[in-house]
Amino acid sequence: MARSTKEEALETRNRILDAAENVFHAQGVAQTSLAEVAQAADVTRGAIYWHFKNKSDLFDAMCERVRLPMESMMEAGAEEGEVDPLGKLRDTCVFVLHEAARNPHSRKVFDIIFHKCEFVEEADPIVIRQRECYLEGMANIERILRKAIDRQQLPADLDLRLAGVTLHAAMGGLLNNWLFAPDSFNLEENAEKLIDACFDTLRYAPSLRR
């Protein structure tokens, strides 16, 4: 009985998250109320508050379903004994682009983050959390790049901060542009080439050297 109740609770939570994806994507995050999410999920508002503290908590949980696999790959690339940190980072970047192209859930969440979030108030918990995720991602990238330098996979005089900013901006730009106009280029087919071009920039651009 307990296991059944736990499974039912998980099913309800996932149904709420799926509904949040759909409503946030259709209306934008700021324009969506928890009552509208509850209606779309066919649950009460009380059920939403049982699983999530507020809209910010719900938004973050929705993002985590996409973010966690990427964070796991990044952490693997940053492990002390990793022999191919740059290869792991490349795999992560290719995985992210493929997820956007192949996984409808991931694509919808990326589209919400890039195009359906109205970041107008600095104190908004969603804005704060997104900024934290950005800074955490930047720190992880720099940590992996530093290990890649130690493994002589990148130039010893690479400017880590500029290299991290460049790679993060390139990834964000690729996702943003493709989500905005999917027919403008084939993201799935060209994901590896696009990422390799980014990594060639890290290896060879004189402007990224200290």
The DSSP-derived string for 51-108 is H-SSHHHHHHHHHHHHHHHHHHHHHHHT-TT-S-HHHHHHHHHHHHHHHHHH-HHHHH
Give me the pLDDT at residue 120, please.
64
* Chain segment 13-58, per-residue pLDDT in tens: 999 999 999 999 999 998 999 999 999 999 999 999 999 999 999 9
pLDDT at 148 over 70: yes
Judge if 43 and 68 occupy the same domain: no
Q: Which two tokens stand for residue 53?
A: 């503290």
CATH number at residue 198: 1.10.357.10
What is the widest separation between alpha-carbon atoms in the chain?
64
CA nearest neighbour of 137 among 113, 120, 104: 113
Dihedral Cα 21, 24, 27, 30, nearest 10 deg: 180
Q: Which two tokens stand for residue 132?
A: 């934290």
* Chain segment 149-180, per-residue pLDDT in tens: 999 999 999 999 999 999 999 999 999 999 99
Which residue, chain included where needed, has tokens 């790679």? 167
Give the integer Cα–Cα distance in Å for 44 and 39.
7
Which of 36, 52, 68 marks a domain boundary? 52
Judge if 48 and 113 occupy the same domain: no
Judge if 42 and 110 occupy the same domain: no
Q: Phi and psi of 209, rounded to 5°?
A: -95, 150
CATH number at residue 28: 1.10.10.60
Give me the pLDDT at residue 79, please.
74
Judge if 20 and 74 occupy the same domain: no
Give me the pLDDT at residue 1, please.
40
* Chain segment 73-86, per-residue pLDDT in tens: 777 666 777 899 99
158 to 5, 54, 134, 139, 147: CA distances (angstroms)? 54, 43, 21, 16, 12
* Chain segment 91-142, per-residue pLDDT in tens: 999 999 999 999 998 999 999 999 998 766 777 788 888 888 888 888 989 9
CA nearest neighbour of 105 among 1, 209, 17: 17
Percent of the chain at pLDDT > 70 equals 95
Judge if 33 and 116 occupy the same domain: no
Domain count, the chain: 2
Judge if 4 and 64 occupy the same domain: no
Give the integer Cα–Cα distance in Å for 209 and 203.
9
State the residue range of the domain holding 132: 55-208
| 0.85 surpassed by pTM | yes
Give the integer Cα–Cα distance in Å for 13 and 34.
14
- CA 51, 53, 59, 60 torsion: positive or negative? negative
Judge if 142 and 170 occupy the same domain: yes
25 to 6, 9, 105, 108, 110: CA distances (angstroms)? 29, 24, 11, 7, 10
